[in-house]
Amino acid sequence: MDDPSNVELNEIVTRDIEDGNVGDEFAASSLKGIRVIKAHKGFILCDFIVHNQVSDENGNWHVGAIATLVDIIGSTVSYTFTSYHQVTVDFSISYYSTAKVQEEVEVEAKVIGKKEKLSAAIVEIRKKENGELVALGKLWFSSTIRAAQPSKL
């Protein structure tokens, strides 16, 4: 059984991601309909059905929407590990296949390293039907200070 901190973390991450409480309006639309299956320190697993708002003119999942989802989920998984707000400092993504509207995918994110204020995460997106890799994102984040700092201006 999960300890209380993991259960609480799972509830917070699930609520924030599924309710669109992360990012801006575009980010919220990129995450619309996502379901968090499992979340604990340094790991998030989600299901997502590609919908019309994130498709291109050919009915494929738009690469920009994929990149947005990878960045948000990557940042969130890093936050679960560090408890600090994260700023993306390096982002690379490789696209391996397309996903069509109404196709279900699985999004798995995990923290793979941390050193001082930097943390690294990998986000894999695979088709639920056959496990085919759609995209792989590698991200580095820098932790920011928890409390707001007064401006030096």
Put the strands of the sheet holding 133-143 in their side by side order.
Answer: 35-40, 43-49, 104-115, 118-127, 133-143, 86-95
Calpha distance 147→124 (Å, rounded): 32
Is 152 a domain residue? no
Residue 104 has a pLDDT of 97
**What CATH number is associated with residue 137?**
3.10.129.10
Residue 105 has a pLDDT of 98
Is 90 a domain residue? yes
Contact residues for 93 (Cβ-Cβ < 8 A; gap 6+): 66, 67, 70, 135, 136, 137, 138
- Output the CA angle 87-88-91, nearest 5 degrees: 180
Residue 26 has a pLDDT of 66
Is 32 a domain residue? yes
The mean pLDDT of 54-77, rounded to a whole number, is: 93
More confident residue, 27 or 89: 89
* Tally of structural domains, the chain: 1
Is 30 a domain residue? yes
Q: Indicate if the pLDDT at residue 147 is higher than 50.
A: no
Is 151 a domain residue? no
Is 69 a domain residue? yes
The mean pLDDT of 71-85, rounded to a whole number, is: 85
Residue 83 has a pLDDT of 76
Is 148 a domain residue? no
Q: Which domain holds residue 112?
A: 4-143
Task: Please give the share of the chain, as a percent, with pLDDT higher than 90.
Answer: 55
